[in-house]
């Protein structure tokens, strides 16, 4: 059934108000192109509705626009449509249909779809569970420079899951993802330096990678950075910075951060606790950068 342009535009206008005139113009332009059959405009509308960007979030409408673009062969739309079917957002929960769309996108060498196929195999969603198949797809995506695949491939090598354990190869893939500023990989690479797994143990380098990850709000890195300050490993000892980083990790739900915060509090004066709390508030305000 044809989506009414007039009704959609009215809905968007009410939602945006005068402050959203720029977003409204962008939406109108995309809508007009999408109605003419332009697949990238259809995909853009799908993203807007899926994410609630300038419009009220509506998975069903997102799926309609993704579907139109996907049927024209746009890999990004095929992948996103597959994701909606994987999770039952706006469409029936149907992993076979999800696999169909992922495979069509993956056949066009779309790395995110290749990665998602790996996830389907890892979790046994619509296919038999297979670590080896997951690794196959992640390797294909990783070789295109897709950071999430690089990280997960590194983790499989570190754990020896689906492959022989190989710390050197794990470090290689972690480093590739870390150099793309993928926070989880930066943390894991820091951990490898902290433990000396296939690299020479170096706490200063570990701190560097922990900090880069922590500055992106990655709670595990924030907790570990706090520990490094507590022990004086790779950085000058500081109970204040221990408290700050541990408390930031705790705020993100990291239970170990809360434990470290509680432990170090017993060794601090009221003035030092107040200073640490002030630093933590400033760090949040700065979005963790330069703390």
Query: If we measure between CA atoms, which residue out of 107, 105, 185 comes closest to residue 145?
Result: 185
pTM: 0.88
**According to the model, what pLDDT value does residue 16 have?**
46
**According to the model, what pLDDT value does residue 54 have?**
87
Three-state SS sequence of the chain: CCCCHHHHHHHHHHHHCHHHHHHHHHHHHHHHHHHCCCHHHHHHHHHHHHHCCCCCCCHHHHHHHHHHHHHCCCHHHHHHHHHHHHHCCCCCCCHHHHHHHHHHHHCCCCHHHHHHHHHHHHHCCCCCCCHHHHHHHHHHHHCCCCHHHHHHHHHHHHHCCCCCCCHHHHHHHHHHHHCCCCHHHHHHHHHHHHHCCCCCCCHHHHHHHHHHHHCCCCHHHHHHHHHHHHHCCCCCCCHHHHHHHHHHHHHCCCHHHHHHHHHHHCCCCHHHHHHHHHHHHHHHHCCCCCC
Q: Among the listed ranges 24-33, 46-55, 154-163, 233-242, which one has the minimum average pLDDT value?
A: 24-33
- Measured between alpha carbons, how far is residue 169 from residues 110, 166, 196 in Å? 24, 6, 14
Termini Cα distance of the chain: 54
Q: Which band of pLDDT confidence, cut at 50, 70 and 90, is reported for residue 25? A: confident
Higher pLDDT, 12 or 259: 259
Determine the Cα–Cα distance for residues 255 and 230; give it in Å rounded to an integer.
17
* pLDDT reading at 10 higher than 70: no
**According to the model, what pLDDT value does residue 20 have?**
52
Determine the Cα–Cα distance for residues 34 and 23; give it in Å rounded to an integer.
16
**According to the model, what pLDDT value does residue 1 have?**
39
């Amino acid at each position: 059934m044809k989506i009414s342009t007039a009704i959609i535009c009215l809905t968007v206008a009410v939602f945006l108000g005068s402050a959203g005139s720029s977003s409204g113009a962008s939406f109108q332009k995309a809508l007009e192109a999408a109605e003419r059959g332009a697949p990238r405009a259809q995909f853009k509308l799908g993203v807007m509705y899926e994410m609630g960007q300038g419009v009220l979030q509506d998975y069903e409408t997102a799926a309609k626009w993704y579907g139109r673009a996907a049927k024209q062969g746009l890999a990004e739309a095929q992948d996103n449509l597959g994701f909606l079917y994987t999770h039952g957002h706006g469409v029936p929960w149907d992993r076979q249909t999800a696999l169909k769309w992922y495979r069509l996108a993956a056949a066009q060498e779309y790395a995110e779809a290749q990665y998602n196929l790996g996830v389907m195999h890892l979790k046994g969603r619509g296919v038999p569970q297979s670590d080896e198949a997951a690794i196959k797809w992640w390797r294909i995506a990783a070789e295109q420079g897709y950071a999430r695949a690089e990280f997960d491939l590194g983790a499989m090598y570190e754990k020896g899951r689906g492959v022989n354990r190989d710390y050197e190869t794990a470090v290689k893939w972690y480093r590739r993802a870390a150099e793309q500023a993928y926070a989880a990989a930066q943390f894991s690479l820091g951990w490898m330096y902290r433990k000396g797994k296939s690299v020479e143990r170096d706490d200063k380098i570990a701190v560097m990678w922990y900090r880069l990850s922590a500055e992106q709000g990655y709670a595990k890195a924030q907790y570990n950075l706090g520990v490094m300050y507590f022990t004086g490993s790779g950085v000058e000892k500081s109970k204040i910075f221990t408290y700050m980083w541990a408390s930031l990790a705790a705020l993100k739900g990291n239970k170990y951060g809360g434990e470290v915060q509680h432990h170090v509090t017993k060794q601090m004066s009221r003035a030092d606790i107040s200073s640490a709390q002030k630093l933590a508030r400033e760090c949040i305000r700065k979005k963790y950068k330069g703390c």
